[in-house]
């Protein structure tokens, strides 16, 4: 999927689209990157993962955490009955709504279908039509 994502990011950048990342994205990346391969991680050293995160921060505008994000997250999990691991996705949606962002690039479309005020788009769709 890495190749597809890089191609889509190039395409969006060339179109002048503003691309964002949140602290949560970086934290979740670091967790997966440093987790052992046997546990579905990437097995990277903390230093290597940190370097990748630094590169990501150069490619994307970082949306800082704000107090309103928690308030919006709490509203979303109650309004949509969000449970378990999906609370993390709800937090990303809360960031989007707090900042007025309407489009999310994700391979996990089904996890975001419940939300009415955002549009989740697959990188494959952007690349192939």
At 100-129, the pLDDT tens digits run: 999 999 999 999 999 999 999 999 998 886
- Residue 126: predicted pLDDT: 86
- If one compares 53 and 1, the residue with the highest pLDDT of the two is 53
Asked: is 19-128 a CATH 3.40.50.1010 domain? The reply is yes
Distance CA 21, CA 19 (A): 7
Quick: pLDDT tens for 17-47: 999 999 999 999 999 999 999 999 999 999 9
Kind plus residue range of the DSSP H or E element containing 80: none
Q: What is the pLDDT of residues 58-91, one digit of tens each?
A: 989 999 999 999 999 999 999 999 999 999 999 9
- Give the model's pLDDT for residue 129: 63
Domains of the chain, by residue range, sit at 19-128
């Amino acid at each position: 999927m890495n190749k597809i994502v890089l191609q889509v990011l190039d395409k969006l950048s060339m179109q002048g689209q503003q691309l964002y990342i949140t602290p949560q994205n970086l934290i979740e990346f670091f967790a997966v990157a440093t987790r052992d391969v046997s546990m579905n991680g990437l097995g990277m050293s903390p230093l290597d993962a940190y370097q990748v995160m630094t590169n990501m921060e150069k490619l994307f505008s970082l949306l800082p955490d704000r107090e309103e994000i928690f308030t919006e997250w709490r509203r979303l999990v109650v309004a949509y009955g969000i449970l378990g691991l999906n609370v993390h996705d709800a937090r990303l949606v809360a960031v989007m709504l707090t900042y007025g962002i309407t489009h999310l690039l994700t391979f996990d479309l089904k996890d975001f279908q419940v939300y009415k005020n955002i549009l989740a788009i697959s990188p494959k769709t952007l690349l192939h039509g």
